[in-house]
Structure 1
Amino acid sequence: MVAGDACVGVSCLLDSVGSILRKRGLGPKRGPPVFSGDVARPAELPRRCVSFLAAIDCAVGAWMPWTACSSPCGVGSRERERLVTIPPRNGGAPCPDVRQRRGCYGHHPDQCHSVKEVAKILPDTFKRTFKDPWKRPHMMAKEQRSSYCAYFRMKEVSASCHRGVWTNHLFREKNVCVECQGEAMGTRDRCEGDGRQGTRTFWISASHPRCHGSWVLESMQRNCNCSPKSLIFV
């Protein structure tokens, strides 16, 4: 800031240069330094002032609460973060970490039972299409239950699966439809091992125990029948 011919709160370039030259006996006793040649005289130069700005360190707020575990069942992670209230300036101290993550293990009693189950599967050639000729009550009750389809994406397939008659068609990242028929449903009107959407669960071949792997449930459709060459729950 310049007030008239004086600098207030700053150091003036010309006055500083003149002071240094006078101390070394190279300039006039008073006033700004004298320049020779084609260089403009000090009276003709604009007065420039340099301000010295203080460094401002980064400041952050308080930590926010931890988020819920990313996995309702099994290993997952949770996070928390804090906001930057004052960003660093003029070479001030940088900001500390503003996000933290730590592991967690989710366990929701109403949801985790299906995650721990292992599905037993067979090809749809084992699908039952006939009715019980003796009309036994417990069999008729199962026949009246509507089937549903579970759509999975294969994530792991053991090497032994490639040696099976029907399991050799299973491979990683393959989309499969697995039908749950009434005969395979338990007391909860669902097939064991039908999984939880977005969560990795496990399966095993009922006819070839060394063939097993994991998959992720992508969607489920009620009152549905899978297309031919699909799978069924046992």
Structure 2
Amino acid sequence: MLTVFRDERGSVAEVWCQARPCFVGEWSPWSGCAGQCKPTTRVRRRSVQQEPLNGGAPCPPLEERAGCLEYTSSQGRDCGHSFAWFLTFGDEVPPCLTLPSLSAATRIAPTHSFLLKYCMEFKTESLTPHCALDNRPLTRWTQYLREGYTVCVDCQPPAMNSVSLRCSGDGQDSDGNQTLRWQAIGNPRCQGTWKKVRRVDQCSCPEVHRFIFI
């Protein structure tokens, strides 16, 4: 950036000031869910380390929000499963999706939870236009769903059947040619179909294409 200075004698001097972009710190850990027993949001923040100077690049967003579901009340009561009531009837009923929640309480000892979780990969075949229209903080993630993309869905202990240790609607019994249905939590008009690709131990999809069964 070129800056012009005039001194006391009226002399003019041109000084080139180097632009400095904004620098921000690392993201804080995700907060807990804003509430228990129902779909809510969690938040993480970062702070500005250096303000932009001389026309430098502006600061990126300092706050991010994501959906989450806490399965335990403040009194320690098991809850929240009513939001996935339609998941108990197997692959004929669509699974319910949301973004991964770091604060979802498990009903299985944490030391063993990592041994039980698994990931299902699906190829999205179709989805309704409503997925791209929702701009609410809790459900904005549905805008990233696309036909023909591979998505990963985590099956974690809170959503597992206590006997089969599987998530309802995970599609494991399909042969890969069967069309399965899904529905997004918080936006029931965002739904569609996909086909199973495979089961893997850990999800490797980009964050915007990674979800969980609940």
Q: TM-score range by the shorter chain?
A: 0.3 to 0.5
Please report the TM-score for the alignment, with normalisation by the length of structure 1. Answer: 0.44
Larger relative CO (CA 8 A, sep 6+): 1 or 2? 2
Larger radius of gyration: 1
With the length of structure 2 as denominator, give the TM-score of the two structures.
0.47
